[in-house]
Amino acid sequence: MADEVTVEVVERVAELANLQLTPEESVAMVRDLNSILEYVAQLSELDTSQVEPLAQVTELMQIGNRPLREDAVVPSLDRGTVMNQAPETDGAFFKVPKVIER
């Protein structure tokens, strides 16, 4: 089931996850991921070819579906309070470093 995880794989996955790992961290992650994946490989012992995946459990409870709420405009959080939490803002927008290189 499992291919061996290498430093290249860890670096590729880190890129997908927007994580910047130091070389030491990458080496430690290779070791940890291989040990965890080796452990989870035991799932392949189970034949699940006829089993539907279960994403969450509400379907197992006998409660029926609640109708969707009305699509109405309601007051939201105060903009000023929210923007106060931003690392960098002009009060109306979130400011971020340059996106496009010229």
Minimum CB separation from other proteins for residue 97, in Å?
5
Q: Tell me how far CA of residue 42 lies from CA of 45, 53, 95, in angstroms.
A: 6, 18, 47
Quote helix, strand, coil % in the chain, to nearest 5: 40, 0, 60
Chain residues 17-76 in contact with other proteins, contact rule CB under 8 A? 17-21, 25, 28-29, 32-33, 35-37, 39-46, 48, 51-58, 60-61, 63, 66, 69
Helix (H, G, I), strand (E, B) or coil at 89: strand
Cα end-to-end span (Å), the chain: 45
Which residues contact other proteins by CB under 8 A? 1-2, 5, 9-10, 13-14, 16-21, 25, 28-29, 32-33, 35-37, 39-46, 48, 51-58, 60-61, 63, 66, 69, 77-78, 81-82, 84-88, 94, 96-99, 101
